[in-house]
Amino acid sequence: MTTAAGVHADPLAEFALAGILHFARGLPRLIADRRDRTWRKQATTELAGRHALIVGAGKIGSRTAELLRCFAVTATGVARTPRPAGGPFDVMTTTDRIAEHLPTADILVISCALTEHTRGLIGQLELAALPDGALVVNLGRGPIIDEDALAEALSARRLGGAVLDVTSTEPLREDSPLWTADNVILSPHSASNVPSENGKIVDLFVENLGRYLSGDAALINEFDFDAGY
């Protein structure tokens, strides 16, 4: 059994970057001012100098870190098992040590798989440990984050914004405050749907089928039943 890991890395990383820039550069205020025909000059913020904590240092997380590095954003990668730092990550840590890194995370990106170990990984305590104004991005699965705690932190303006491609229940429940929150970007689990997606998946499948039939090479993205992805 194999997976399509890596196929969606580029579009998901671009979606993350688009959402992060949306909030970091104050676009919600500009949109509101144009709607209200208000002309006011205000200072905004920048990405340069910020730090990202990326939970899930696989292909999606790594690509997101690469794009953020272009904007002078440093990154700590979080993996299930220890690995040396390098590539797009300035620091590497493991899932059980996330709490140590949350206070320095201006941007929290979730790009890991949903397993018994990651379900509810980011709850009220973890969100409270983030700096005021931090941005939260979820490219993984909704249940990794406590959605009620996230909505509460957004409503209280403790967080600067959330960029979500996934939610705990899909479609998002009708009474969720995320529908109307002005500091949320919400995608219906389709941020990776781009014209090249199916072609890349077919190419990967055909390559793996050839390897399987010949037995001459290891399969790409072989599923790890113990890890759950």
Looking at 46, 100, 170, 222, which residue is catalytic? 170
Host H or E run for residue 79: strand 74-79
170 is catalytic: yes
158 is catalytic: no
Structure tokens at 21: 């820039």
Type of residue at 67: L
- Asked whether the bond before 188 is cis by omega within 30 degrees of 0, the reply is no
Structure tokens at 194: 């781009």
Looking at 80, 126, 141, 147, which residue is catalytic? 141
Type of residue at 136: V
Residue among 64, 10, 15 at smallest CA distance from 196? 10
Task: Give residue 222's region: left, alpha or beta (phi > 0; psi -120 to 50).
Answer: beta
**Residue 52 and residue 65 in contact, taking contact as beta carbons nearer than 8 Å:** yes
Host H or E run for residue 115: none
**Residue 137 and residue 144 in contact, taking contact as beta carbons nearer than 8 Å:** no
Task: Measure the CA–CA gap between 64 and 16, rounded to whole angstroms.
Answer: 7
8 is catalytic: no
CA distances from 90 to 76, 77, 80, 100, 130 (A): 6, 8, 17, 16, 19
Looking at 22, 189, 207, 211, which residue is catalytic? 189
**Residue 102 and residue 121 in contact, taking contact as beta carbons nearer than 8 Å:** no
| Catalytically annotated residues | 141, 170, 189
